[in-house]
A = this chain, B = another copy of it.
Amino acid sequence: MTIVDPEPIFPHELRDAWPALSRDERVESFKLVPHATADDFFLSLSAPEQLELILALAPAERRTWMRLLAPDDAVDVVQAAPLEVRESLLGELDEATRREAHALLAYAEDDAGGLMNPRFARVRPEMTIDEAISYLRKQTREKVETVYYAYVLDSQQHLLGVVSLRQLFQASPGKRVDEVMRRDVVTVSEDTDQEAVSHLFSEHGFMAIPVVDGEKRMKGIVTVDDIVQVVQEEATEDIQKVGGMEALDAPYLEVGFLAMLKKRAGWLMVLFLGEMLTATAMGYFEEEIARAVVLSLFIPLIISSGGNSGSQATTLIIRSLALSEVRLRDWWLVARRELAAGLALGTILGCVGIVRILLWQGLFHSYGEHAVKVAFTVGLSLVGVVMFGTLSGSMLPFVLRRVGFDPASASAPFVATLVDVSGLVIYFTVASVILRGALL
């Protein structure tokens, strides 16, 4: 690429180094970005990064950068700011944008209304193709951010159809817009959840989706570039919940230590209190353990196998529900499938477990005179525990969704805890049947 300035900082180089820089280094380097590309660089930053720069710059410069932002992006910056500076940031905007920003601030951040840009390209149905193209040129010269689709509106702002730029370019110049527009438009409303909006994008491969109110009056557009971010965020939230904690909502190294501790301690405590039931359960079997200490050797093996198989099942179903690959009404299908999977997986593990115990017994006489019965106790318990794991792991997300919770909260460790307690009961019940009269 040709170099524009004698000693410029290349925006993409600075972008790479950005996470490693301190606030002051960021501000200093930003000042070295050549004027011609500084705008693009600034726009490529996330809202909290833009805020950091704006607050560090001289008050006279703030206005320039705030006004560079589209209304929806300006709102993101304002929302990232502490309450006491929000009004002063809004004050930097021009009158019209400030009004739009105020309206957008009223929407929840996670709804289509909070993602949408109120400025979009519009045309009238009775325009000719050539008129529409020059009208679009005029609109981009003013403030419209994206012109990939032009929305066809009547005089009351009702959405009649949509034409892509490609269609306008392909059509013969004398035709009317309403002869080439698509009428079957996929729309969302202002309170559509951002996860639902991102599904529409990944299903249809759109560049933008219009947001309409109850009377089909057009309010704005959501564009696909905002959605890539949303998809990443939603996936991160789900992964963190599957990992057994509250979603952090910010990069790991940027979250304060105490805030992070709080998000982790909460769930850890819930799981700990749940696991205390294992101590209670074990208490009931204390006598059996005293009589047959050999039984205790396999407790970690058995409960963790149940936990692992449950964690697989719950992860699969959480993700399938999130991507709408599996629906609530499929629960019975899933239950049968997971019961069969649990039987198969449990039988495999059970056989390996039996072989292991008999082998050690043959080699080292590790497990006393009743080793064969102990081996079958462990083997059979594994079948039962793994089946219980896959079944409860796969059903818990359905139950949570049914009662209105996020299935991702049925995190893998939560299932593991549930399975631990039941696993102990299964193990000692099997043992009391097989080992009665022998060890017990």
Contact = CB atoms under 8 A, between A and B. Distances in A.
A193 interface: no
A268 B207 contact: no
The 7 closest A-B pairs by CB, nearest first: A243-B315, A235-B235, A278-B300, A251-B325, A205-B225, A282-B297, A140-B169
Interface string A235-250: 1101110111100100
Nearest to A43: B205
Nearest to A293: B290
A307 B416 contact: yes
A301 B276 contact: yes
A44 B209 CA distance: 14
B289 A301 contact: no
Interface of A: 1-2, 4, 10-12, 15, 19-20, 37, 40, 43-44, 136-137, 140-141, 145-148, 160-161, 165-166, 169-170, 182-186, 198, 201-207, 224-229, 231-232, 235-236, 238-240, 242-245, 248, 251-254, 257, 260-261, 264-265, 267-269, 271-273, 275-276, 278-279, 282-283, 286, 289-290, 293-294, 296-301, 303-305, 307-309, 311-312, 314-320, 323-327, 330, 333-334, 337, 340-341, 344-345, 348-349, 352-353, 356, 366, 412-413, 416-417, 420, 424
Q: Which DSSP category, helix, strand, loop or mixed, fits chain A's interface? A: helix
A16 B275 CA distance: 42
B320 A257 contact: no
Contacts of A254: 325
Indicate the member of A185, A205, A356, A417 with the most B CB atoms within 10 Å. Answer: A205
A138 to B, nearest CB: 9
A356 B276 contact: yes
B225 A206 contact: yes
Quickly give the copy total for this chain: 2
B297 A299 contact: no
Contacts of A253: 320, 325-326, 330, 333-334
A272 B434 CA distance: 23
Contacts of A141: 169-170
Given A44-B203, A300-B420, 14 more contacts: A1-B183, A15-B204, A147-B166, A202-B229, A224-B224, A239-B239, A252-B334, A264-B312, A269-B352, A271-B304, A272-B308, A278-B301, A286-B293, A290-B293
A387 B49 CA distance: 33
A205 B232 CA distance: 13
A420 B420 CA distance: 13
A235 to B, nearest CB: 3
Contact of A147 (B165, B251, B299): B165
Contact of A317 (B205, B252, B272, B353): B252
Given A201-B225, A297-B279, A257 B340 contact: yes
A273 B341 CA distance: 19
Given A229-B202, A307-B413, A315 B245 contact: yes
A10 B184 contact: yes
B202 A252 contact: no
A304 B140 contact: no
10 contacts: A1-B184, A37-B182, A205-B229, A240-B316, A251-B325, A251-B326, A260-B341, A264-B309, A264-B341, A293-B293
A265 B311 CA distance: 13
Nearest to A309: B268
A288 to B, nearest CB: 10
